[in-house]
Amino acid sequence: MIKRLFTSNDPFRPSVSTLIGTYAVLGFWTLVVLFPLYWLFVTSFKTPADVNNGPLYIPFVDFQPTLETWNDLLIVQQNFVLRPYINTFISAGISAFLALVIGAAASYALSRFEYRPKPAVIFMFILCVGLAALLVSQGLHWSLAVFLLLANTIGRRFKGSMGNNDIAFWLISQRMLPPVATIIPIYIIFQQLSLLNTHAGMILVYVAVHLPLVIWFMRDYFSGIPLELEESAFIDGASRYTVLWRIVLPLSLPGLIATFLIVLIFAWNEYTFALFLTGAETQTMPLLVAAQNATRGPQWWNISVLVTLMVVPLLAMAFVLERYIAKGILVGAVKG
Amino acid sequence: MKKLSVLVLLAVLLTLFGAFGVVSAQNQYEGVVIDVLTFTGPQIAEPLQRHAPAFQEATGATVNVITVPFADLYQTILTDQATGTNSYEAFVFAPQWMGDYVSGGYLLDLSDKVGASEELAWDDVGQFFREFSATYQGATYTLPLDGDFHMVYYRIDVLEELGMTPPTTWDEYLAIAEAANGMDMNGDGEGDFGSCIAKKRAEQGYWWIYSIAAPFIQTQGTSQGAFFDTETMNPLTNNAAFIRALEIYKATNAFGPADELNIGVGDTRGLWTAGRCALTVDWGDIGSLAVSEGSNVNGLTGAVITPGSDMVLDRATGELVACDEMTCPNAINGINHAPYAAFGGWSGGISAAIDPTVQQAAFDYFAYVSAPAQSNVDVTIGATGFNPYRISQFEDLAPWVAGGFTEAAAENYLGAIQASLNSPNMVLDLRVPFNQRYQQVVLDEVLSRFLADELTAEEAAAEIEVRWNEITDELGRDAQLAAYTATLGITGGN
Amino acid sequence: MAAASELAAQNKSHSTDTRPLGERIGSWLDAASPSVLLMPTVLVILLLSIFPLIASLYSALARFQLQQGGFAITFVGFANFNKLLFGSEARKTLGRIGELPAWSWIVLAAFALVMLYFLYQHINRNRVGAFSSIGKTIGFGMGVFWRVLTGIIATFFVFMLVGGLYSDRGIPGTIAVTLIFVFGSVALQYTIGLILALLLTQDIPGKRFFRIIFLLPMMITPVGIGFLFRMLTNTTVGPLGPVWQAAGLAQFSMLEDGGGARLAIIIGDVWQWVPFSFIILLAALEGVSRETIEAARVDGANRWQLFRFIIVPEIVPVSTTVILIRLIETFKIIDVPNALTGGGPGTATESLTLHAFNNWRAIDYGLSAAISYILLFVVTYVAMVFVNIVRRRVLEAFA
């Protein structure tokens, strides 16, 4: 074992020359990553005058750092910053968790069962007809109704060739349209359902827009898990849910964690939906960051403080969850 | 920081003092809640918030200031109102957007209220703001809280060193910029810039071109208009005057920072207070920013009405002609000036779709914020975005000196503002419905392409004309023409 | 999906089934598990996608107008698309293409030949019995049709890119700019992410430190990234100004020139999204069993063979997913160009989404939706080509 650790072609223990090369690359990228962040961080301790008086690099040497901006945002304007901060935790945290639960289930289903989505097509057809009737009754153009009916007739032609991959592609295609195209209709739906300016509304939207991501990621992990393990469990009389909970999910833990982290980050930083669907009580942090560019141009010091505040919880989360991603090695060993 | 706190204290005291004036009305609005929507940032939201407790004390009405990012305010108000969501009782917005809100029927007509309010002192508000900025098609819809128009700022010390006087024409502006460019103006041993103008795309850049073009285009007073022909609604862009303005606009590139095409107004203000520019064109904000903490140019900042021209557009031929009594009736020393009320000044408007009592309460709140007792202090605080718009704000220098101005600087600054405001040839910003499509979409894009050398000046002028005409035709030429002439106060026949 | 029939079956057998109720529900739930697991997703997405999709399609064919007390939507047919593709916005959408240099014709011709080769391959392969039945004829015809269409569109994209970038006075339109962002950025993100992930699967000191540091850029809100890069590229107060000056480029800003500005945006986007490929690929690499590698090593596999036959098959499926998702997401790129350059200088960095956004902000919902649908068309095309051709072939080749 000891000897093996020092042989050069062991993929886990690199030789000295490989090690130097590795550190050169990693060090370079660390610099690329950290320099902009360093600049952001020191800017949060500058006064507007420090920023305007040209680039000042090192605190205490080039300029006297001050907590003025931090004080202003965290103490003086407390309510303007803390509320969005808490809101961001609520809508991003809950929606990421729900998206993971719902999405992982769907994803497992898509990788284990064959679907022939005929009932779905019929369901969509009914839904479309109903919507078309609703739209026409609301005074919209009749050609829309005709289009909808035609669209479904065409849609049904292809039913024979639809399968799991088509469902998956349909799901991911939900992310293809930019939010600006769909936001006004969603606004109107939310207005009708009284979901504007509520956490529930934000969570619903974030779950919906992030589900496709969860499903696509988890599909790959699930299909990598050998079926034999599950089959032997079924022989022992376990139900589908027990197998999913006891065998499949633990085996795909690294994937689940990575996916959760990514979805959390997406929801945490989302801007366009938050802009339209939130009000004073539910506003989130990205709005506050964007708002720092007002009539007087970007307030660099405020942006720096707010972005730092936004990154800290995610960083802490990554710090904790990184262990689980690392544990994936051990889990992987089991499946081999 | 100390100065600011003294000022805030002063403001609070004055506010309390003012509150006694309306003590008779105490608790008349008990339980009324007014949600006021404006943009995030201290400029407007801070004074609105600061005055809310005193107003509540006096009347019982609760005022909540709700903010969205500046870039999305126009649309947020429009979406809220157009869909009938009605989440807000009142808005503080740029009156340029009024055309859209009024044509949607979202704003309450305040014509009867403004005269009736003693506290508001309506006659004290500058004539331009009363008659043009706050009104649309003859009716008053907003209460001005702020006065916005462009002026030219110059470095007193740099011009002295060069032996030059503040620019009265754009050619002089370019001459000063050229002479000053490369001089060390902040004492760090490095060359600084002759002229700093915000030219970034999608960031207010499109207002500067009209500050340059206006004196070439508009000569007969505000109601002549600088954007369209008042008979045909044909844009006044594809002519010798606008092309000349484009050339001047581009010529200033040579005397600015290397990345001038990508700097916004926040950057130019930072450069100004850092002492790195000899000239800039900006709203009133620079005057109070120059005296605030951290500024290197306190006492060195002079202001003057935007430069003019001795050649003006002959609208019949599209060519430039010399100024004479006929062509430039408002000229000063043979130079036609046309200060541009870009954006128009933040103003309060009230939702038409709410209960009349709440409407009255919202009106009283705006009247309270706008009343001389409050606003005459607010306009001297650099941190607010409020610039002078009342006659009484020019008469008393005391608040300005308390705000950090030297007496000479205050006189110089107020003199430039007064010269602009008194000009009968002030240019009203474009306020037809959907003006954002004309300016923010088409004008902004074409200017940026022109600055990036994609288009020549002639091509740019022609492109603006074609695309503005296209928008006008899409929206209905007659309706747009009627709206345009109405905003200019030409009501006859419409 | 099978739920309904299961339920019916369960009901029928109701009288004869003597098992306790709990157990019966349990077994029914178990049998219905395909529906139970998938339905929540389908319902959530249907609720929030069907109506917006239809409504935005309708608004792409309409014009939004303000009216006393509300708004009106007028149907205008294809006027918005017409304006974007043939009217006053065509220069912006498709670009300005001048006199093409000689070499670009050779590139275009070569590309078209490749497309023709694919068509030839298809015809040649299915030649025998292509018309033996109606079904086969239709299948064959569809195959030819899709290949011709794909080839024409792809050649047109190449033409727009080459014409916009290299022709005389040429300017890429928003479609071409978006394609440049997408291909430039996704290629770099994936490559850098893969290299970093591979390096960090080694057992080296400081591994955790690097892993967490490398994730950082992704955690910053995209709007913040735009501002951050605007701060960095500012020549007067940004940290890099003195660096340019030292290099003798005092009067230089990379944002003044179209190509430089596009590069700056690609750098910003790559900086932000390398962590995405990195973390997904890292998780996939960690899933590769050590035992398998050990076993292969014992069998005498060298490093390259280990990589090619153990690691590559394991990460190829995840890689294609990462690339597909990044393709789709990068097509919607807006925050960085919006905050960094606002689309300028000129329209050099205006992506399709920014183009839509600019009109959307001016309440031109019709035009904005039409641009979104052009984008949808381009993304769907690229994603379909990727899924049906690249992903399938790569999976077949490696898995």
CA distance C116 to C150: 11
Q: Identify residue B248 by its one-letter amino acid code.
A: I
Nearest-CA distance B289 → chain C (Å): 18
Q: Quick: pLDDT tens for A52-84.
A: 887 888 889 888 899 988 998 888 888 788 999
Question: Which of A155-169, A242-256, B380-394, B397-411 is least confident?
Answer: A155-169
Q: Is the CB of residue C69 less than 8 Å away from at least one CB of chain B? A: yes
**Which residue shows structure tokens 């979104």?**
C372
In terms of CA atoms, which chain B residue is nearest residue A284?
Answer: B68
Q: Is C234's CB within 8 Å of B75's CB?
A: no
Most A-contacting residue of C6, C30, C48 (CB-CB within 10 A), to test interface: C48
- How many CB atoms neighbour CB A143 within 10 A? 13
In this structure, are residues B39 and B68 in contact, taking their beta carbons and an 8 Å threshold? Answer: yes
Q: Is A11's CB within 8 Å of C229's CB?
A: no
For residue B73, CA distances in Å to A58, A81, A177, B7, B8 come to 38, 19, 24, 29, 27
Q: Which of A263, A307, A279 is nearest to A87 (CA)?
A: A279
Q: What is the mean pLDDT of residues B357-380?
A: 92
CB contacts of A297 in chain B (<8 Å) are: 203, 264-267, 269-270
Q: How high is the pLDDT of residue C331?
A: 95
In terms of CA atoms, which chain A residue is nearest residue B69?
Answer: A291
Nearest-CA distance C344 → chain B (Å): 6
Q: Looking at the predicted structure, is the pLDDT value of residue C94 above 60?
A: yes
Q: Which of B74, B82, B258 sits opposite C253 (nearest CB)?
A: B258
Q: How high is the pLDDT of residue B122?
A: 93
Supply A226's token pair.
Answer: 């050998």
Question: Which of A42-46, A131-135, A172-176, B120-124 is least confident?
Answer: A131-135
Q: How high is the pLDDT of residue B144?
A: 93
- Give strand ranges (E) for B19-134: 33-39, 62-68, 90-93
Omega before residue B144 within 30° of 0, cis: no
CA distance C210 to B195: 46
Strand partners for C167: none
Q: How high is the pLDDT of residue B55?
A: 93
Q: How high is the pLDDT of residue C284?
A: 83
In terms of CA atoms, which chain C residue is nearest residue B201?
Answer: C342
Q: Looking at the predicted structure, is the pLDDT value of residue A136 above 70?
A: no
Chain B 263-322, residues with CB within 8 Å of chain C CB atoms? 263, 267, 270-271, 274, 276
CA distance B346 to B142: 9
Most B-contacting residue of A53, A83, A190, A276 (CB-CB within 10 A), to test interface: A53
Q: Looking at the predicted structure, is the pLDDT value of residue C254 above 70?
A: yes
Most A-contacting residue of B67, B262, B263 (CB-CB within 10 A), to test interface: B67
CA distance C342 to B206: 13
Q: Which of B88, B5, B86, B83 is nearest to B50 (CA)?
A: B5
CA distance A69 to B8: 19
Partner chains of C (3+ C-beta pairs under 8 Å): A, B
Q: Is the CB of residue A160 less than 8 Å away from at least one CB of chain B? A: no
Q: How high is the pLDDT of residue C5?
A: 45
If you average pLDDT over each of A57-61, B345-349, C383-387, which comes out highest? B345-349
* pLDDT range class, residue C188, cuts 50, 70, 90: very high
Supply B327's token pair.
Answer: 């062509």
Nearest-CA distance B29 → chain C (Å): 27
CB contacts of B285 in chain A (<8 Å) are: 295-296
Q: What is the percentage of chain A residues whose pLDDT exceeds 90?
A: 32
Phi, psi (5° rounding) for residue B440?
-70, -30
Asked whether the ipTM of the predicted complex exceeds the cut of 0.90, the reply is no
Q: Is the CB of residue B449 less than 8 Å away from at least one CB of chain C? A: yes
Q: How high is the pLDDT of residue A231?
A: 86
Average pLDDT, chain B: 89
Average pLDDT, chain A: 80
Nearest-CA distance A140 → chain B (Å): 15
Q: What is the percentage of chain C residues whose pLDDT exceeds 90?
A: 37
CB contacts of A193 in chain B (<8 Å) are: none
For residue B303, CA distances in Å to B150, B154, B173, B195, B212 come to 10, 6, 13, 14, 16
Q: Is B274's CB within 8 Å of A49's CB?
A: yes
Nearest-CA distance A305 → chain B (Å): 15
**Which residue shows structure tokens 């596009």?**
C262
Q: Is A276's CB within 8 Å of B70's CB?
A: no
Q: Which of C34, C204, C379 sits opposite A176 (nearest CB)?
A: C379
- A157's CB contacts (< 8 A; 6+ apart) are none
In this structure, are residues B440 and C362 in contact, taking their beta carbons and an 8 Å threshold? Answer: yes
Chain C 112-171, residues with CB within 8 Å of chain A CB atoms? none
Q: Is the CB of residue B331 less than 8 Å away from at least one CB of chain C? A: no
In this structure, are residues B260 and B197 in contact, taking their beta carbons and an 8 Å threshold? Answer: yes
CB contacts of C360 in chain A (<8 Å) are: 180
CB contacts of A299 in chain B (<8 Å) are: 41, 266
* pLDDT range class, residue B153, cuts 50, 70, 90: very high
Q: How high is the pLDDT of residue B68?
A: 86
Q: Is A172's CB within 8 Å of C317's CB?
A: no
CB contacts of A196 in chain B (<8 Å) are: 85, 87
Q: Is A57's CB within 8 Å of C55's CB?
A: no
* pLDDT range class, residue A280, cuts 50, 70, 90: confident
- Give strand ranges (E) for B336-477: 340-341, 347-350, 427-428
In terms of CA atoms, which chain B residue is nearest residue C339?
Answer: B202
For residue A70, CA distances in Å to A41, A285, B490 come to 11, 16, 52
- Give strand ranges (E) for B286-423: 301-305, 311-314, 319-322, 340-341, 347-350
Most A-contacting residue of B70, B190, B280 (CB-CB within 10 A), to test interface: B70
CB contacts of A288 in chain B (<8 Å) are: 40
Q: Looking at the predicted structure, is the pLDDT value of residue C12 above 50?
A: no
Q: Looking at the predicted structure, is the pLDDT value of residue B493 above 90?
A: no
Radius of gyration of chain C (CA): 27
Q: Looking at the predicted structure, is the pLDDT value of residue B484 above 70?
A: yes
In terms of CA atoms, which chain B residue is nearest residue C70?
Answer: B82
Question: How many B/C residue pairs have CB atoms within 8 Å?
Answer: 128
Q: Identify how many contiguous H helices and E strands chain A contains and give both numbers.
A: 17, 2
Q: How high is the pLDDT of residue C311?
A: 85
Q: Looking at the predicted structure, is the pLDDT value of residue C14 above 50?
A: no
Q: What is the mean pLDDT of residues B75-102?
A: 89
Q: Quick: pLDDT tens for B28-66.
A: 898 899 999 998 888 888 899 999 999 999 999 999 998
Query: For the whole model, what pTM was predicted?
Result: 0.89
For residue C239, CA distances in Å to C229, C231, C234, C242, C337 come to 11, 8, 8, 7, 20
Q: Is the CB of residue B265 less than 8 Å away from at least one CB of chain A? A: yes
Q: Is C88's CB within 8 Å of B451's CB?
A: no
